[in-house]
Amino acid sequence: MKNFAAAGLNKYRLRHGITGSTDELGNFGTFIIPLDDKTAMCVLANDGLPECDHWEHVSLHIKRRNELGKWINRLPTWNEMCKAKELFWEDDECVMQLHPPKTDYINHNPHVLHLWRPENQTIPRPPQILV
């Protein structure tokens, strides 16, 4: 995972409210990243805290301002998920979305998708011709 400060992500860090944080927290926090003048990527990220069993994690949803100026939440597109991967991880790092068994689902927000990378193991991948 990239160093958030070195990658220029701290300028997007949410600094107030229940999920606000400071730069001193390093690779942990909430980030509001503008995609255009009406759209923002809302990201909660951590770099593999011991409390998270050393899994790097990014969860994100998209906010878009409608014609009345109200923010509407939606799921990220494939391209927006790719943008999150590009922002938070190096090009040569493999990250994944998981589809766990339904009995493991915890859905606090129906508009959020997640990217994961275990710190202590290599993610198995299919042959490159299948990717």
Q: What are the pLDDT digits (tens) for 3-20?
A: 999 999 999 999 999 888
69 Cβ contact list (under 8 Å, min separation 6): none
What is the pLDDT, as a whole number, of residue 49?
77
Q: What are the pLDDT digits (tens) for 54-88?
A: 899 999 999 999 999 999 999 999 999 999 999 99
Q: Which of 27, 87, 25 is nearest to 60 (CA)?
A: 87
What CA–CA distance (Å, rounded) separates 32 from 52?
22
Number of helical H runs and strand E runs in the chain: 1, 5
What is the pLDDT, as a whole number, of residue 58?
96
What is the pLDDT, as a whole number, of residue 51?
76
| pLDDT band for position 29 (cuts 50, 70, 90) | very high
Check whether 104 has a pLDDT greater than 80. Answer: yes
